[in-house]
Each structure stands twice: as C-alpha cells, then as structure tokens.
Structure 1
Amino acid sequence: MKFTLSWLRDHLATEAALPEVLDAMTMAGLEVEHWEDPADKLKAFSVARIVAAARHPNADRLQVCQVETIDGMKEIVCGAPNARPGLTTVYAPLGTFIPGSGITLEPRAVRGVVSNGMLCSAAELETAEESDGILELDDALAVGTPAAAALGLADAVIDFEVTPNRPDWLGVVGIARELAAAGLGTLKDHSVKPVAGSFPCPVTVTIDAPEACPAFAGRLIKGVKNGPSPAWLADRLRAIGLRPINALVDITNFISYDRARPLHVYDAAKLTGGIVARMGEAGESFVALDGKTYELTSAMCVIGDEAGPLGLGGIMGGLSSGCSEETVDVFVESALFAPLTIAQTARALGLQSDAKYRFERGVDSGFMVDGLELATAMILELCGGTASDVIIAGEVPAAPEAVPFATKEVHRLTGLDLSDGEIDTILTALGFSPDVTGAGTRKVGVPTWRRDVAGPADLVEDIARIAGFDRLPTAKLPERKGRKEPLLTAAQNRVRLGRRSLAARGWMEAVTWSFASRATCELFGAAQGGGALVLANPIASDLDCMRPSALIHLLLAAQRNADRGFGDLALFEAGPVYRGDGPKDQEMVIAGVTRGHVRHWDGAAKPDVFSVKADVLAMLEAMGAAMGGLQTVQGARAWWHPGRSGTFKLGPKTILAEFGELHPRVLKAMGVDGPVYGFELFLDALPPAKVKPTKTKAKLDASALQPLSRDFAFLAKADMAAGDLLRAVGQVDKTLISDVSLFDRYQGPGVADGHVSLGVQVTLQPREHTLTEAEIEAVSTKIIAAADKLGARLR
C-alpha cells in the first residue's frame, strides 16, 4: 500500500516530519517496507534565472549564459533551444550527479569555454520521460528555491505491508485513524454528505447470486464531460505508481486508495437493459480492461446485462462497457462481494487488480453507499452532470456483534497497567464504541471496517499496540526444575547425523516442495494402493499431489542445474513423503540424486551404483544402524533400473533403503537427462539404536598385534549374491575375523558357463598372541566349509 505524506495530511492534522511518521507507523504495527523522498534526490538542484545569453564563439548550437544562481553569477554553456534571457529554470552546480543522464558535473571546457554548472531539463531530473529543452518555471519563483519545491515534488511516498486481517489499512483514512490514535495528530472529519438525486435511476439492478454479491448500490449521472483529470489528482495517482486514464476512472482509483472502497464506472450508453449480478455460465467469455479474454465458469461472480458479461464482480470490468472521453452518461457501481469467491476466481484466471486485492480481504460494508456518494460528489465537481437517486439491491450485512470486554484483560494478557479511561480513549480513537456496563466491564461496539475483531483478546492486541509495545514490562521466564528433556529426539538426532555424513561425502542439501504433479507422482507409485493423494486446492496446477517420493523434485532440480551448465552435482533432502491421508501414511526419508563427475576432496570420481551404495552404507553407520544384520538384495521398485539397483534390508520384510540408477523410462517422462543415480532411505524403518548406559566413551580396544589377511577364490553360480557369501564368511569367527570384503568378480575363460569367480579377502586380527600356522589353517578350513554350504567351492 502506497501513499504520500501530503495525502496523509488531508486526513490527519499533524506537523510531524517524515521520520516521525515512519517511526509512529512502525510502533503502531504498520510495517514500512520502503519510502522515497524526491526532495532528497533533488536537494542539490535549485531555481536559477538567465540574465544574459550569447552565441558560443566556437559552436552555432550552443549559448554562453550568464546565470543568477544560489551560488552567485555563473557562466554556463547551454545547448537548449529555449535558453534565453529572463528564463527561470533549474540549476545544478559542479559536483552534482544528474540522475537522467547518469553523469557527475565536472569543471571542463565545452568547445573552449568552461561551463560552471548546468541548466537542466525535465528528462535530466527524471520528472518526465522526454523534454525538448530546459525547464521553464514560474518567474515569480525566487532564485535559490529548492527545485523539489518549485516542481511540486517535495512529497515523500511511503510503502508499507498490509496484513490480510486489516483491509481498513488499504485506505489512507485508515492509516490516518491509526496514527491519530497513536498520538501523532488529530483525525480530520471525513464524513460524506449525501448528494440528492434529481431523477429516478433508470438502470435496474438485480442480484441472482447473493452468496457472491450480497449487496449492490448504484446511480446514473447524466451529462458528464469526461477528460483528463486535474493536475492534483493526476499527480497524486502518479506518485503511488498509477497511470492517470481519465477523470471518471481516476476518481474511482483515488477513492479506492483514499477510502479502501473499490468502485466501477460503466458507460451507460453501452449497457443493454438492466444490470444483473449472477454466477457465470460455461462457455461465456469476456474481454477485460487489460485487453485479455477470459473464460468464465459457474464458480465466478459476473456482472452482466442482457447482452452478456460486463465484467468480473470485484476484480475487473470489461472493455466493452468502459468509460472514455466520449462518455456522456455514466453508471457508478458500489457493491459488496464475497472474499472467497473473489480469491478463487482471481487464482483460477491468474488475474490481479487493486479491487481484487481489497475485496478478497473484505471491504467496509458500512461504507458501500457512502463510497457511492463520495464518488458522485467528485464526478459532479470535476465532470459536471446531474445525478439520479441511489438504487440499492440486496441486503447489506449486519454490523459485527458487540464484544463483552473486561478491562482487567489488558493487564492479564500483556502486563500493561492502563486505566479504564486510557483504554476507553484508545478504543474510541480506533473507531470502537465502549459502553460501560459495570465496574471494569464494557460492551464494545465494533465498527464495520473491523470484522477481524471477534473477542476480548483482539481488543487487547489493539490497545497494547496503540499504547506502545515499548511499554510492555519485561519479565524472566520461570526456570524449569527437575528433569530436563533433550533438545532433540532420537529420530531428530539420527536425521542430523545422516545429513552430516552425506555433507562430509560431498553431497549438498536441498529443500524442495512436498507437492508435485499428479502425472509425476504416478511414476513413483502414487497410483498403487488407492491412487494419488490429490489436493483439493493446490497452490499451482503442477503441484496438485502430495509427493510419494522425495526423489521427484531432486531429479527436477538436478536437471535445472544441468540446463544452466551445472551438471556435476549431488543433491540430498531430508523430509516427509506421503503414501495416503492416514496418520501413519507420512514417512520421513533421506533421499539423494547424483550425476556427472562430482568434485570430491579425494579426487573427481564418476558416480555409479557402487559409489551411491558406499555413501548410503556410510550414512547408515553414522546413524547407528545395526550393520551386522544388514542384507543387500538386488533390485528395487519400478522407478529404479532393474539391473542396476539394490535394496538394504533387515530381515525378510524391513526395507531400510533403495539405491541405484533411476529407470530411463522415468527420467524420459520427467524430461531429465540420464544416467542419474540416487537413493531413498526410510528413517522410520530404522530400529532404535541401543541406548548406552553411560555417556562415557568405551575403553579403546586396539590390539597390539599385527593383523594378517588371506585371499580366497570361490567358484559359485552366477546368480549367487556376493553379500550372502561375505556374511557367511564373517560369521565363522566373530572374535578373530575383523573384516571381509569382495575384491574381484570374474566371468570368462577358465570359469564354467553359468558360474562366477568371487575373490574374497578376509582380515584376521589376533588379540592375545600371534597366530600359528595351525590356527590360521583352522580358520581357513571353517571359511571354506561355510562357503561350501552356500554352494561356493574353493577354486
């Protein structure tokens, strides 16, 4: 919401300067986002007068001017065709930055003559887009007058954020009321005097959809003369970023910002029959004032006549009935519209307007007719004409109910010690009507522009805000005694450890949407077991389903990075996935995707199934998972490559993680270039880690004896899982065998068809004494026997 300081002073009697206004707004809860004072930008410029002008000795198009300035007489070279003796204009001294040209004035010769400053045009001061010469000002202006004051630009513009519950702040009157209550000045009388009608209104209004448009007021004004707005109105609109159009339209825009009351004007000659507020019909469309055609539905509120739609109620009017300079008779609309209908229609059509911004938050129902009267008075003043009687269709909603209020609630909820008189003064200044019903009790009438107030706590908030949050007493929170719970749960600690592990191995964390498109979700199994979890009111058409996998947006993010030249990356995310709408259907996962040559501290390595597997194993170990019983099973669900993926399991049913290469079919459907590798770890499936009886670290159990290793080559069937063999070998002697690993897998000449040679390295760690050959042979015999039980024989 933007407004100017002079506009505020139209409603607030105050001598406060801009810094005081900004401070008062901030303390009253009006969050100032930006402010701009044109006088600051033009503070170096001032009014000057050309005393004499002669042709430049070395240039026909230049003149050497003697100029009376705030710094005395100056000789200035000027190329403007309108430079002449007696002209009052704007002067910039040496060292001034010229905003329109982006240069800083320096003392240098122009064709042999030094120019001691500059005479400026409107374009150079950025007060106009184009200009033919230097500025021509009123000769009555004194030399040395600040340029901002001479040009009428000494008016600061303030922009602040309006919270959704305060639509009254979308009008300058509402801001003035708040600042007056805060003690910055006195609120001026802004009551509206009715304009008597001279004839019955010939335009009829019917409401067929009271749930979308509960009330509609209007009147016809005959014989207007539309045209450009007066300078004061046009300048005021330009100051807040609005483009003046014509007087009739500018009046409605002015009242929208001045009183938070959107209005609309129709050229009465373009209406066919009466006006109807109804719901749209399938197949209808209309061309809006922005020149675009919009398709209507039965969920949209339409203002129409016998010929069809005239516009979308409360959002935007149609081009066919808009006012132009040829308009003679104008019908003025002041209506009420349901906020929810407005918001849903605007979202469906992607339409934004000042009227929509106000109506979806809820406008003051009590100002519907007064807004029409105010517009009528301005139109008669600026455009002339004769007004009809006001017609009202529908029923204006009743005012909010009075709120029972005990003044002691202020101290109970805030700690502020305010007298009943001070509380009543604040409430009255804000537009409430406190009616004393007893000692310390009130029945507080709520104004129609404050429908956000529903109970005593809302009143306390306003009282504390105006009294000053800086008056709130400070108090220490009571200390908690007894047992203190840890800051993080065991599950949260596991997530933290997993994230740290991945980050240490070169992965970068991402935060993505929990929503995805339905088509993408179905690629990841959303169609199984009951279908996709579709949102009733999605924030975007391509985010209409809760994600069944955290891989979805990581894959899309990886492709976006690749499209911009960053193809080598590894992304992971810790977050929820959704299998259904039940309380147990939400799962926490850690997922990741990687592609290309990822830079790593130990050198660049191309990711593959095994590098991803190693990272997942490291993460599981860091999180305290039971690695001893971990099984690796080939294959995973349908979105993984069937021959290049695997699953980590604990027992026959518990799946801890899936990893491998993503299926090319899935990548193609998502528009992602492969190959891409990834994983998804299911945190809820991890069994709880064993609780240590003490936080003291265990004694280091390091053997002083040197370990030794033995290599075995086993011949097994090609479909045997190497993990099963390694697990069987490791179980032979848990005390002596410290590590078992696969170092070779061979198929080819020398190995029978359908078989494979598996090279296994076994590390033995003596504990009490150096192992003898007999002891080593005994362990080796047990290893061979264990392998043989699985069908793997020593080569």
Structure 2
Amino acid sequence: MKFTFSWLKDHLNTSANVNEIVDCLNKIGLEVSNLKTYKTDVKNLKVAKIIDVKKHPNADKLNVCIIQFDEEQTQVVCGAPNVKLNKKYVFAPSGTYIGGIDLTLKKAIIRDIESNGMLCSEKELEISDDHNGIIELPESINLNENVSNYLGIDDSIIEIEITPNRGDCLGVRGIARDLSAFGIGELKPLKLNNLNDEFNSSINWEIKLPDDKKSLCPSIFGRSFRNVKNIKSPQWMVNRLLAVGLRPISSIVDVTNYVMMDIGRPLHAYDVNKIDGNTLTVRISEKGDQFNALNGKTYELDDSMLVISDKKGVDDLAGIMGGSRTGVDENTTEFFLEAAIFCPISIAKTGRYLNINSDARYRFERGLDFNSPEVGVIYASKLINDICGGSCSNIVSIAQKKSNKDIIFDFKIIKKLTGVDIDESKVEVILTKLGFEVKKNNKNWNVVVPSWRNDVERSEDLVEEIIRIFGYEKIPTNVLPVKSYITKPSLGLKQRLSLYSRKCLSTRGFNEVITFSFLDKLNAKRFGGGEENLNLVNPISSDLSHLRPSIIPNLINVCNENIKRGITNLSLFEVGPIYKGDNCEDQYNVVTGIRCGNKINKNWKNSELKFDFYDVKSDILAVLNVLEFPVSRLKIYSEAPNYFHPGRSALFKLGNITIASFGQINPFCTNQKDKKIEFFGFEIYLDKLPSPKRKVLSKPLLKLNHLQSLSRDFSFLIDNELNVEDLINEIKLIDKILIQEISVFDVYQGNNIPKDKKSVSLSIVIQPADKSLTDDDLEKLSSKIIDRVFKTFAAEIRSH
C-alpha cells in the first residue's frame, strides 16, 4: 500500500515529520517497506516558456530553444518531439542534480551549439517511466510558480506491508485512523457532501441469485450522472495517482481509483449509453460466457463466477475487473457508478481461476466495510461534480441489513494475556479512537466492533488491538526465575514418532519427498480407495481428484519422473496422512518408503546387487527399533494388501493390529510399460503403534556373565507351510535362561529334500548362568530341543 505524506495529512492533523510517521507505523504493526523521497534538486526546477525554437543546424532530431524563466532567458538544446513555441515546460538549470538519470547538469556544447540545463521528462524527474516527451505544463501556470509543488515531487512516498487481516488499511484513511489512535495526530472528519438528486437513475439493480447464494452479493449501490465532461484530471489528483503507481486515464476513471486509494472503496463506472437496457443484473455466470476485460483480454467463464451483466452479456467480473464494452471513454457524457459488497471467497476463487490480479480484487479478498458502498458513492459524487460537472440521480441500492458485532469484554483479560497493567481510561480511549463503541456496565464491557474491522471477532482480538496501540515497546521486561528442572519435551508423541522415523530413514540412505495428499481416481482405486466420499468437490486438477488411500503411488510417480531422466537407483520416503474413509478414525499417519534399482552398482570388485524384499523388511525393523517398539513381539503374515506382489510381500502384526506392510509392489500398479523395474516398498502405521510405557528413571545395570557362551547348530526338515518363527519360539520355551539367541543361517530346498519339505538351519546361542556346562548337560539340552521339535511339528533332525 503506497501513499504520500501530504495525502496522509489530508486525513490526519499532525505536526510530525515523515520520519516520525514512519517510526510510528512500524510500532503499530504497519511495517514500512520503503520510504521514497525524490533525489532530484526539486528546489532548482523552474517553469520555462519557449519563446523561440529552431532546428539544430548539425542534427536532424534536435531543436535549439530559447526559453524564459523567472526574469531570465537562456538557450537549451532539446531532442523531445513535443517541443512547441510558446508552450511551458519544466526546466532544470545547470548545477541541478537529476535523480532519474543520476546526473548533475553542466553547461555543455552539443554538436557545436551551447546548451544550458535541460527540459525534463517524467522519467528524469522520477515521476513515472514515461520518457517519450518532456513534461508540458498548462497555459495557466505562472513562470514564478513552484513547479515541484505543482507536480507533487516535493513530497515523500511511504509504502507499507499490509497483512491479510487488515483490509481496512488499504486506504489512506484507515492508516490515518491507526496513527490517530497511537497519539501522533487527530483524525479529521470525512467530508461527505451528498449532492441533490436531480433525476431518477437511468439504471437499476437486479440481484438474480439463488437463496443459498444471496451472500455472494449482500449489498450493491449505484448512481447515474449526466452532462459530465470526461476531461483530464486536475494535476493534484494526477500527481497522487502517479506517486502510488496508478496511471491516470480520464477524470471519471481517476476518481474511482482515487477513492479506492483514499478511503479503500473500489468503484466501477459504466457508460450508460453502452448498456443494453436499463437494468444491471448480478448473477452467476453460465458456462461458456465470454468476458472482454478492460485489460484487453477475453476470458471464458465457467458456471460459478459472480458477474454483473446487461441484456447483451457480461459487463463486469464482480469485484475484479470491468468490461471493455461498457467502459467509459473520453466521449462519455452519461455514466453509472457502482459500489458493492461481494463475497471474498468467491472473488478469490474467480481471480485465481482466471489468473487476474487487480487492486479491486486485492481489497475485496480481504473484506470491505459493509457500510462503505453508500459512503463511497457519496464521496465520489462530490469529486465527480467538482471535476466533471453535470448532475446526478438518486442512489439506487439493494442491501441486506447487517448489525455490527458485539463482544462481551472482561477488562481483566488484558493483564491475563499480556502481563501488562493498562489504565482503564487509556484502554477506552484506544478502542474509541480505533472506531469501537464501548458500553460499560458493572462487570464487563460491551464493545461494538466497527463495520470496517471484519477481523475482530473475540476478546483476544481486542487485546491485540489494545496492546498494539499501547505500544509493544512499553511492555516491561521481567527476568524469569531460574529453576533446576529438566525441560519437558516440546514435541508431542506423534511429532516425535514422525521426527525419529525421518532421521532413521535418512541415515539409511533415503531421501525425503513431500507430495500432494491427492491422487487420480484410477490410482486411488488400485491402492484401496476411490470411494465417492473421498472425492474432492473442487480438485486442483483432474489427476488430483481423490484423497490418497496410500502414499506408495505418490512415491512411484516421483520415481517414474526420475527414471525418465536416467536416475534409476532410488530410495525415497514420505511421512504423511492417508485416508481410508471420511471419519477422523479413518485417517492415519504413515511412514512410507520405496526402493528401486541397485543397492550396489557393478564394479571391478562386486557384481550388481539389486534392492529386494529383505531390504525393506530391514528398513521397517530399523525404524521400529528407533521408535523403541518391541520388535520381538511382532509376528509376520503373508497377507499384505493387493497392491503388493502376492508372493513377495508380508505384514507385521502385533496381536490383531497391523503395524506394517511391505514387499515388492505389484507390477500392474507401478505405471511402468515394460514392467522391468521392480519397486519394493513399505508402510508403517504410526497411529497403530502402542503408546510407550513409562520408563523407569534409571536404566538397570548391565549384566555381564563371567562364563563363556557357546553355540550349537541344528538343521531340521520341516513342512513348507510351517513358519520358521513358530519353530524358533517353540525352542525358546525349552529353557529361557540357557537359550539366549536363535538365528537362521540357512534355508534349503532342492536335491535330497522332499518337495513338501524345506531344510532350516538354526544357530542357537547357549549362555551358562552360574556354572560351566558339561558335555552331558549340552547333550541333554540338545536332546530336549530335537524331541520338542519332533513332537510339536513332526520335524526331523537332518543328517548331513
């Protein structure tokens, strides 16, 4: 938001200088991003009249001018195409610094002709980027007049950053109101001189919206004007518009832009003679409607956009941009002025869809003062009458009633939330100057929120306003007491699980990616989703239409994009939500990883080694170990979801709860045409992990046995269908003290092994507890193991 210092003083009675104003703006949360003062020596600039002009004898495009300024005359060589005899221009004499070209002027010889100073363009004086000609001044200006004041270049331009909730400060008056509340000046009353109605409006309103969409346009006002002259705007208005980056067009358009910047009220003007009929209709666009905008572009609308139309079609994209067909021009003598309230969400969606940005859209998106349409029309009417002449009609409107919000405010909440004691009378003054109406009773205050503060909804918002104006710098510094205690973790359980999972996978060679939580319908169905209740009403695009039931397809898509670019060895993971239904309990936080390509590339020492089923299994166990999950209690089942390969996948369960699924991804789900690249993935359901038990304050002492452990190897012939895990668990039950560890070191099927059998070789670590074991002790233990396995599983010891 840009404005000039002099413009601000139209609304704020203050003796502060521009630097003091900038300091105050920063203190009240209106951050100043730029302060521009003109670099040119504006005091040296003169009004000059050309009393003689002739072509340069040695240059076709140059003119030799004799100019008069003050009581003097001098000669200037000028190349501007608009140099004319007896016209008045801006002259900078020798010795003047020109900021636009970063040059101090000196007497010069140009093609053998002496030149003293320069006739200046707008670009050279930093007014605008226009350098097609020099600045032509009106005949009425006197030679001794202060030209820098006339052009407005003796002013300062302030630019502030406006947060999305402060739409009320997108006008100079809103900024002045905040400064007044801060105490750096007094807010001047807004001059509203309502003109007499001289005729009935030529145009009337019609709102043609369904009952459930009436909120899209709750208020709209308008007024007709006749016998106006759409002349060039006065210089003071031109100067201000140029200073804030707006291009002057014509007096009618300039007034609408000026009012928007001055009081934050967007307006639009229609040429009455170009409107088909005498009614403008607010409606929803129809699919295929064409809109020819003022920016020279044509847009095709869908069936959801708010528009204003006549009998011929769309005249205005409500709250965003007017149409070229009914726009005013230099020949306009009768026009209709519009001011309305439109739904911010509707404006934002339409603007984003059509990729149209405008000053009006910027303000409507942030919410406008509900009472501003009528004020804007009245305020603009006086300016139009003063500049363009003519007469105006009655104001026509359709408006819903809306009362201002009431907030029950407990004064004590200020101390509670901020720790600051503020005098009650000071609080009342702050709120009143900001436009709030304060009604006191015995216990609480009843605070009525002004119509321009859409962002204030509760007591906490009022406290924010009070402390902002009171001054953050006045909050006293309190030294907190030093306590000797261990800081509690700042992260919640879910956050810690996610963080530790990320760290673990990063150390195992994975790269983290973040993808959309959406899929196309086909992939959603492939991975267990695609239901209608997970279909997005307003998707970003057609291939992101459903909430994802799994992250695996997202990771596959990322892999495929990399594979297209020749990157085939990939390990990617993502931690995020998946959706199995539309209830809260159907949303899970999942750690998902995928690997493809080579684990080890072929080289002089090693042959190529690809990722496989056991790599992703190890990844799961590594993550669960880091999360302090009791991995030993897990059971493995071959019941993985159908998007895994049916013969190369598995589940980890804790009781009946599925903790993780893993394996090779079904080739039909990988979107690979040749199906040559194998993807291995896993999913860990963090929300299904049991909450960790409370830890003891200190770890138990490490028990080191002074007796040496020993191992014995056994090879059993077991049924193909028997899980090795069941075999191991049964052996552990024989002696939980002596048998410390059991591991599989070989599984064999082939020669000399029956087809329905497999050979499993186990290494069993035996740790004596209080005495060394004799050969007889070891023989007895071995016999127990062999007998137990035979009785339980009918498994025989295999002889080599």
- Aligned match of 1:594: 595
From 625, 644, 649, give the equivalent of 1:645: 649
Residues 1:278 and 1:496: Cα distance change in structure 2 (over 3 Å) = closer
From 279, 284, 293, give the equivalent of 1:280: 284
Residue by residue over 1:596-635, the C-alpha shift from the partner in whole angstroms, topping out at 9 and shown as x without a partner, is 45799xx997533221111211222333333334333335
Q: Is the 8 A contact 1:722 1:758 kept in 2?
A: no
What's the CA shift for 1:2?
3.6
What's the CA shift for 1:655?
1.9
- Aligned match of 1:35: 34
- Aligned match of 1:256: 260
From 285, 289, 298, give the equivalent of 1:292: 298
Residues 1:548 and 1:380: Cα distance change in structure 2 (over 3 Å) = same
Q: Is the 8 A contact 1:31 1:162 kept in 2?
A: no
Distance 1:193 1:554 in 2: 65
- Aligned match of 2:377: 372
- Aligned match of 2:465: 462
Letter in structure 1 aligned against 2:684: L
Residues 1:689 and 1:163: Cα distance change in structure 2 (over 3 Å) = closer
Distance 1:4 1:260 in 2: 15
Residue by residue over 1:172-195, the C-alpha shift from the partner in whole angstroms, topping out at 9 and shown as x without a partner, is 110111011112223233222122
What's the CA shift for 1:285?
0.9
Residues 1:744 and 1:229: Cα distance change in structure 2 (over 3 Å) = farther
What's the CA shift for 1:252?
1.8
Distance 2:38 2:675 in 1: 54
What's the CA shift for 1:308?
3.0
What's the CA shift for 1:371?
0.9
Indicate the larger mover: 506-515 or 620-629: 506-515
Q: Is the 8 A contact 1:11 1:188 kept in 2?
A: yes
From 437, 447, 452, give the equivalent of 1:449: 452
Segments of 5+ residues of structure 1 without an aligned counterpart are 49-58, 64-77, 104-117
- Aligned match of 1:200: 200
Matched, 1:266 2:270: yes
Distance 2:491 2:35 in 1: 46
Distance 1:428 1:80 in 2: 58
Distance 2:96 2:705 in 1: 83
What's the CA shift for 1:356?
3.2
What's the CA shift for 1:762?
0.9
Distance 2:44 2:640 in 1: 77
Q: Is the 8 A contact 2:151 2:236 kept in 1?
A: no
Distance 1:153 1:279 in 2: 47
Residues 1:19 and 1:448: Cα distance change in structure 2 (over 3 Å) = same
Letter in structure 2 aligned against 1:585: D
Letter in structure 2 aligned against 1:658: S
Distance 2:584 2:413 in 1: 38
Q: Is the 8 A contact 1:405 1:442 kept in 2?
A: yes
Q: Is the 8 A contact 2:555 2:572 kept in 1?
A: yes
Letter in structure 2 aligned against 1:286: Q
Letter in structure 1 aligned against 2:392: S
Q: TM-score, normalised by structure 2?
A: 0.76
What's the CA shift for 1:658?
0.9
Letter in structure 2 aligned against 1:591: T
- Aligned match of 1:501: 504
SS of aligned partner of 1:156: strand
Distance 2:59 2:28 in 1: 61
Distance 2:61 2:204 in 1: 66
What's the CA shift for 1:657?
0.7
- Aligned match of 2:664: 661
Distance 1:571 1:92 in 2: 64
What's the CA shift for 1:255?
1.6
Letter in structure 1 aligned against 2:182: A
Residues 1:680 and 1:126: Cα distance change in structure 2 (over 3 Å) = farther
- Aligned match of 1:320: 325
SS of aligned partner of 2:309: strand
Distance 2:476 2:674 in 1: 59
Q: Is the 8 A contact 2:714 2:797 kept in 1?
A: no
SS of aligned partner of 2:339: strand
- Aligned match of 2:114: none
Residues 1:220 and 1:241: Cα distance change in structure 2 (over 3 Å) = same
Distance 2:452 2:120 in 1: 48
Distance 1:288 1:439 in 2: 60
Distance 2:191 2:466 in 1: 25
Q: Is the 8 A contact 2:548 2:579 kept in 1?
A: yes
Q: What does 1:348-363 align with in structure 2 at a 5 Å threshold?
A: 351-363=356-368
Letter in structure 2 aligned against 1:188: K
Q: Is the 8 A contact 2:30 2:160 kept in 1?
A: no
Distance 1:711 1:353 in 2: 80
Distance 1:511 1:389 in 2: 59
Letter in structure 2 aligned against 1:330: F
Letter in structure 1 aligned against 2:263: R
Matched, 1:626 2:630: yes
Residues 1:533 and 1:389: Cα distance change in structure 2 (over 3 Å) = same
Indicate the larger mover: 736-745 or 120-129: 120-129
What's the CA shift for 1:548?
2.5
Residue by residue over 1:248-272, the C-alpha shift from the partner in whole angstroms, topping out at 9 and shown as x without a partner, is 3332222222211111111212111
How many residues matched?
742
What's the CA shift for 1:244?
4.3
Distance 2:554 2:149 in 1: 53
Q: Is the 8 A contact 1:705 1:765 kept in 2?
A: no
Distance 1:161 1:662 in 2: 50
Distance 1:444 1:493 in 2: 43
From 708, 729, 742, give the equivalent of 1:705: 708
Residues 1:218 and 1:689: Cα distance change in structure 2 (over 3 Å) = closer
- Aligned match of 1:736: 739
- Aligned match of 1:764: 765
Distance 2:369 2:208 in 1: 22
Distance 2:125 2:712 in 1: 84
SS of aligned partner of 1:628: helix
- Aligned match of 1:301: 306
Q: Is the 8 A contact 1:751 1:757 kept in 2?
A: no
What's the CA shift for 1:211?
4.1
Letter in structure 1 aligned against 2:36: D
Letter in structure 2 aligned against 1:320: R
Residue by residue over 1:113-145, the C-alpha shift from the partner in whole angstroms, topping out at 9 and shown as x without a partner, is xxxxx999987998765757999999x999xx9
Q: Is the 8 A contact 2:207 2:283 kept in 1?
A: no
- Aligned match of 2:159: 158
Letter in structure 2 aligned against 1:327: T
Percent identity, aligned pairs only, is 32
- Aligned match of 1:114: none
Residues 1:772 and 1:266: Cα distance change in structure 2 (over 3 Å) = same
Q: Is the 8 A contact 2:230 2:331 kept in 1?
A: yes
Q: TM-score, normalised by structure 1?
A: 0.77
- Aligned match of 1:113: none
SS of aligned partner of 2:156: coil
What's the CA shift for 1:699?
1.8
Q: Is the 8 A contact 2:591 2:685 kept in 1?
A: yes
What's the CA shift for 1:706?
5.8
Q: Is the 8 A contact 1:633 1:647 kept in 2?
A: yes
What's the CA shift for 1:481?
13
Q: What does 1:229-628 align with in structure 2 at a 5 Å threshold?
A: 229=233, 232-280=236-284, 282-283=286-287, 285-289=289-293, 290=295, 291-297=297-303, 300-343=305-348, 345-346=350-351, 351-382=356-387, 384-395=388-399, 397-400=401-404, 410=414, 414=418, 416-434=420-438, 446-453=449-456, 458-473=461-476, 494-527=497-530, 532-535=533-536, 545-559=546-560, 568-596=569-597, 606-628=610-632
- Aligned match of 2:188: 188
SS of aligned partner of 1:700: coil
Residues 1:636 and 1:160: Cα distance change in structure 2 (over 3 Å) = same
Residue by residue over 1:439-474, the C-alpha shift from the partner in whole angstroms, topping out at 9 and shown as x without a partner, is 797665543323555566554443332222333456
Residues 1:525 and 1:246: Cα distance change in structure 2 (over 3 Å) = farther
Distance 1:231 1:673 in 2: 74
Indicate the larger mover: 198-207 or 345-354: 345-354
